[in-house]
Structure 1
């Protein structure tokens, strides 16, 4: 099994925007369940119907919950080496939760740094997921 690095990273970047995604081991593509089902071969299937017709060929990608933005935010705070910045981020997170933290990033001019950090985590998670599922990234 294999997948292109670009296709894999694109899928991991879209995890927040779709209900469920799967890697189809039969045709080595990413399939999206947008809440209306899986579109495949000009048909729409529930996951159960798809598996009944084509076999157990779907490997689920992590959900948005599993790729939790709050854990990314906490990891970003922990990696900040400047104590003053770290304390500002901790205060923003403690006082406003994730929403407060994200809004303060713009104010602190750290939004781009955070987005780069998040993208790197998504890349690392994507490669790890592929490795765990014996999928070669090409």
Structure 2
């Protein structure tokens, strides 16, 4: 299953946006009853913080209890840091201007645009070269 979502979060740092996106993705997994989820992110600060259950930045640390709760709900799971070059789809969606608070969620790979599908293929090939996929 492939999912994508985006939404307006207001004024935030890049890491605040990423940790909130992680929470939203985990909540979607929990609501759909998914387990054995593979989580990838290009923010080493967040990935290390979540895996160690310790974030030094207080703005990010406040999200940890909720994220840990959601991770327990989808257990087992894998979480790993990937290079930004292997995360083109997320970076494309990150730069989409969203003018409303509505989010779009798509769980059917057939509904992904050709641009995103091509980026998914490139991301996968980069990850395989890096020994990730």
- Larger RCO: 1 or 2 (CA < 8 Å, sep 6+): 2
Which structure shows the bigger proportion of residues in strand conformation? 1
- Mark yes or no: TM-score above 0.5: no
- Superposition TM-score, scaled by structure 2 size: 0.29
